[in-house]
Structure 1
């Protein structure tokens, strides 16, 4: 094994990762601050480069009325390849149905900007903007619960000096099975062409499984 490759593999698996957060009840909602350190591992190129990311995220989530709520967050990231990024997101949601299922309609705007385009395999645009309409549906019974959030909109950004304009679409879904009062099994799926939804900026889909125990 070449020494350079061995050192990179050692750095990948020996880099401490994790996060800590503080969430507080405030007004008719919550505010929070989270700090996280991670390594980009979405593609083979990113694993080869062993790019570490330190992220600080702050948010506010408030209900204005029984039907109207808003969410806003700011995220700052520092990359080990001498890059930095700022992102801001805001959304407003209107609850259409209070019953079961609960149905809400919302609007979301996202801004993302990187200091440099490093060509290291991750999505690093200038002046990324996306406006989206989304729908949320939550249904629950004694055995299962389901959450769906499809969205549609547009996205525009500049990268390597070229502008891109495109529609944006995708969504997330979760199916949870209640095994007992404390233990749930969840299956989730997410996908779309939303460029900022994945590290590499391509069309994507991903699935996951989670076993959740509540004390």
Structure 2
């Protein structure tokens, strides 16, 4: 026996299929008596609305995806130079970000799909989950280092990966470097993530060469290629 459909529910409750659809998509737009009649018919038939079908009809999924480094996995950052305390702080920080995103998504009627990236990169995972039609934004991408040449190398590699993703057909809407200023990270002011250095005694701010380099990319819109 085939599963009941929206047509079966409409026939049993004596309404149009559009009304059945509104009961599930926007219940407040349907009169109470009609809504209860539709829901009762659905219960009797064992009808379950298909989220996938609704997504295909509206070209939306109702799902937001979050891909982040798995700090607890030794393969996530093979070249990391952080001690266990820094790892614990990073995990706590990422947990706060995830909880905040999940609450915000829920308030706006979205679900949050979470995936951790391991060694080898998340690109295949993101491509598989998102597909060519889901918009992507790269957030908080950077490196904590006192060697500014490493920061330039980090951004060079990341921006080239973004360019490759766009060439492969992924809908990348934005890329956010992390961060503009050195700030309080992982329990201290020690990690130097910033494109701009901050003297904590005088609060003087000094643009690092990487900031000037990134600014030049924005002006010329020319992407440097990675070595090799």
TM over 0.5: no
More helix by share: 2
TM-score, structure 2 length as denominator? 0.27
Higher relative contact order, structure no. (Cα contacts within 8 Å, ≥ 6 residues apart)? 2
Rg bigger for which structure?
A: 2
TM-score, structure 1 length as denominator? 0.28
